[in-house]
Amino acid sequence: MTEHIGCKFMMETQLKKISLSDQMKGIEQPPQTKGMGGKEQTVFLPDPEDLEFKDKSLFATIRDRRSLRKYSDEPLTLPELTFLLWTTQGVVRDMGRATLRTVPSAGARHALETYLLVNRVDPLAPGLYRYHPLEHILLQEKKDDQLAETMTQACLGQKMISNSAVTFIWTAIPYRMNWRYGERGYRYLHLDAGHVCQNLYLAAEAVGCGVCAIGAYDDEEVNRLIGVDGIEELVIYMATVGKKEG
C-alpha cells in the first residue's frame, strides 16, 4: 500500500518525520501576500462594513447550499463580488506579522491567493484579476474575453466556467505554509482551500448566487493560463459563481 503516492505522502508527512522548519531555524518569514506589481488597472473595492444584503438564517443557508452548474445571464455587481471576496479571504485584523481573516488557516499562514476569471461583473472588463486582501483591492492581471473558453478546455470541458459570472481560482504558495510546518504544510494547504471554498458556497446564498467547486483540471495548463509556475505557486482549487436562474 505504501507504494501508492497518496499513501506515501500521508506517511512521509507525519509529525514524527518532520524536521526543523525554517521558522524554528530563525529564518525570516515570507511575505503574507504577493506584491501589487505594475498592474495595468487597480480596482478599488467597497468597504465591507458598508455592504448590505438580505439576511438569511445560518440554518437556511446551510440547508439550501448546493452545487449549481447553470446560471442566469445576470451579472454580479461589484459590491456583490466584494462580499464574496471578503467572506473568503477578507482581513479582519492585521497584526503586522500575521492576519486574522474570515476563514481559518493553519498558524494564520494564509498561503492562498485568489484569482478571478471575470465574465460578467459590472463594471469590470472580462479577464483575469487578483485580489489583494491586505489592501482590499483587485489587480487586473490580463484582459482577455476568450480566457473563459480556454479555461473551460483546460478544465476538461466543464461548461459552467464559460456560463459563470466569475470563476474563483485559488493558488497556494507552499513556502508561506512550509516556513512554519515543513513538508507537513502541504497537508494544511488543502485543508485551507476547503475552508475558503465552503465560505464561498455559504456567502453566495446571501447574494442570490450558486457555486460549483472544481477539482478536475489540467494542472499544468491552468497554471500556465494564470501565469504561475506550478511549484513556487500552484493552482489548488477552483469554483464557478453565477446568479441563480429564475
Q: What is the CATH number of the domain that holds 219?
A: 3.40.109.10
In a domain, 23, yes or no: no
Q: Is 234 exposed, middle or buried (0-12, 13-18, 19+ CB in 10 A)?
A: middle
pLDDT in tens, 154-168: 999 999 999 999 999
pLDDT in tens, 70-116: 999 999 999 999 999 999 999 999 999 999 999 999 999 999 999 99
In a domain, 19, yes or no: no
In a domain, 7, yes or no: no
In a domain, 15, yes or no: no
Question: pTM for the complete prediction?
Answer: 0.96
Omega cis (within 30) before 123: yes
b/e code 20-31 from CB counts within 10 Å (16+ = b): ebbbeeeeeeee
State the cell numbers at 27: 529564518
pLDDT in tens, 160-213: 999 999 999 999 999 999 999 999 999 999 999 999 999 999 999 999 999 999
Q: How far apart are CA 184 and CA 197, in angstroms?
A: 21
- Confidence bin at 2 (pLDDT 50/70/90): low
In a domain, 17, yes or no: no
Average pLDDT across the chain, whole number: 95
Determine the pLDDT at residue 39: 59
In a domain, 120, yes or no: yes
In a domain, 201, yes or no: yes
pLDDT in tens, 119-132: 999 999 999 999 99
- Domain limits at 58? 43-93+108-243
- Pick the more confident residue, 236 or 19: 236
Range in 17-21, 158-162, 226-230 with the lowest mean pLDDT: 17-21
- DSSP letter for 67, please: B
In a domain, 184, yes or no: yes
